Amino acid sequence: MQIDDLKKLPINDDELYFDYDLKKLNWFNIGGKTKVFFKAKSLTGLVNFLKTFKKRGKIFVLGAGSNVLISDDDFNGVVIKLGKNFQNLSILNENLIIAGCGISQKKLSEFSRVNSLTGMEFMSCIPGSVGGGIRMNSGCFDNEFKDVLVSVQCIDFDGSVKMINKNDIKFKYRGSDLSKDLIFLSATFEGKKK
């Protein structure tokens, strides 16, 4: 991995650390260090980082860290975490919610309730992020992400942003066919007005 290239990267509001202690990032306070830790606070910063780092090593995207056990061994790669700008929630039309993939599923469920939309109640007891929920098609009480998801905006590891419609995703129990080389940015969900 060419860390010198990353050290030259112009970092504005984003955060870039080397030999970062992963214990700071997870619920269980465990884990070794990662060679590089990048906290993306803007889409532009994330695109620039990915284009600079492009195909130089392993990338792991960390959401809330609620479903991850981190090894005490060092990770010879990059851990990417989305910052607060990826935690927005907004209503589109009367029954669509656009959620940043860094927000918790619980907050999405609460936002849905406050806006008189049903269908996302099952997320209220899932501690993970929306991005993690998409990755694993999380669910409970006979409901899953696939039931309320409309589309996903994501970026690949080359820095190309794209939109994927739900109909183009093959979901399965706690998984999907979405590439591991995608970072989820936001998602659109459809609720029922009630």
Of 84, 113, 148, which marks where a domain is finished? 84
Single residue among 32, 52, 84 that ends a domain in this structure: 84
The parent domain of residue 178 ranges over 87-193
Cα(160)–Cα(74) distance, integer angstroms: 29
CA distances from 18 to 3, 25, 37, 52, 71 (A): 9, 14, 6, 15, 18
Per-residue pLDDT tens over the stretch 80-124: 999 999 999 999 989 999 999 999 999 999 999 999 999 999 999
pLDDT-based confidence at residue 24 (cuts at 50, 70, 90):
confident
The pLDDT of residue 51: 86
What confidence score (pLDDT) does residue 38 get?
Answer: 92
Looking at the structure of the chain, the number of domains it has is: 2
Q: Which residue, of 84, 107, 140, is where some domain finishes? A: 84
Same domain, 186 and 91: yes
Q: Are residues 77 and 8 in the same domain?
A: yes
